[in-house]
């Protein structure tokens, strides 16, 4: 949690700097168009990926398999969608990374390790 406050200060500041630079470099209208297209396209992509993750979760639950990766994928897609809807280029890149399967495979072990560490500390309890 100690990293949350600097994140809420540094990311918006960096986003504003990049948006101002982009506005000066390519113009205001192309910058606004890029933000609008990334938001709409990201929402569409997140919807498609979300339905795929939900179908995978239902399939795993139907066959009595552990839904671990499907749940983590669903959470990553959810956060990716939120990041894509937010205006800015840094959040768009992070959101796109969370939406596609390849980068999620790289991120997944870190998430599993974080969850395991929290379970060992007693902060997450599964019953």
Query: What does the alpha-carbon distance between residue 72 and residue 111 come to, in Å, rounded to a whole number?
Result: 8
Query: What does the alpha-carbon distance between residue 123 and residue 126 come to, in Å, rounded to a whole number?
Result: 10
- What pLDDT shows up at residue 1? 67
- What pLDDT shows up at residue 122? 83
Q: Give the helix, strand, coil percentages of the chain, each rounded to 5.
A: 85, 0, 15
The dihedral over CA atoms of 97, 98, 99, 100, expressed in degrees to the nearest 10, equals 50
Averages of pLDDT over each 10 residues, the chain, 127 residues: 84 93 94 89 86 86 82 89 88 90 91 88 78
* Model-wide pTM > 0.85: no
- What pLDDT shows up at residue 22? 94
- What pLDDT shows up at residue 13? 93
Structure tokens at 77: 């897609």
Q: Which has the closest alpha carbon to 81: 112, 115, 39?
A: 39
């Amino acid at each position: 949690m100690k990293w949350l406050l600097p994140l809420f200060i540094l990311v918006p500041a960096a986003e504003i700097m990049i948006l101002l630079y982009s506005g000066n470099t390519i113009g205001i209208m192309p910058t606004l168009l890029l933000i609008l297209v990334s938001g709409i396209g990201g929402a569409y992509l997140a919807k498609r990926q979300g339905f795929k993750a939900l179908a995978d979760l239902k399939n795993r639950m139907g066959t009595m398999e552990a839904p671990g990766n499907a749940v983590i994928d669903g959470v990553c897609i959810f956060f990716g969608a939120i990041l894509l809807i937010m205006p800015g280029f840094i959040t768009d890149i992070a959101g796109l990374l969370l939406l596609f399967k390849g980068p999620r495979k790289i991120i997944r072990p870190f998430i599993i390790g974080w969850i395991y560490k929290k379970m060992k500390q007693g902060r997450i309890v599964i019953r």
